Amino acid sequence: MSGFKETKDLIDFLLAAVECWSKVYDDGSVDMTDIPDFWEIFMKIGPLIENSEMIPQEVKDLDAAELKELLKHIQDNLVIEDVDAQVLLDKLCVAMHAAYEVFMLVKAPEEEE
């Protein structure tokens, strides 16, 4: 077990973003009164970017016990009802990979040859 704090933090961010969107769009529209909800999510992006390079290795090193703990964490913190945690985890992994690539582009753009 190598640990997966950064991965867990990214999943928490994604779950919070889903919860925020669900809350904001609950009334059927997005308007200026929703800015505080989005701002709260926006402020969490910085710490994720700082340690984002650790996430691929953490995911690669996940063992069965950590994966089970991660699934339980998702189930415990999932706000939207009737969502299969395994399907969500698969989608979160895809989203984490995409987010990592975007973060690395922003953090350290590749040099042009």
Distance CA 69, CA 12 (A): 13
pLDDT digits (tens, 9 = 90+) for 43-86: 878 778 888 888 888 888 888 788 888 878 877 887 665 566 56
pTM, 2 dp:
0.61
The amino acid at 74: I
pLDDT value at residue 112: 47
Among 69, 65, 58, residue whose Cα is nearest residue 93: 58
pLDDT digits (tens, 9 = 90+) for 6-43: 888 888 888 888 778 777 777 778 888 888 888 878 88
DSSP structural state of residue 30: -
Distance CA 71, CA 62 (A): 12
Helix (H) or strand (E) holding 16: helix 5-24
Distance CA 99, CA 113 (A): 24
- Average pLDDT of the chain? 76
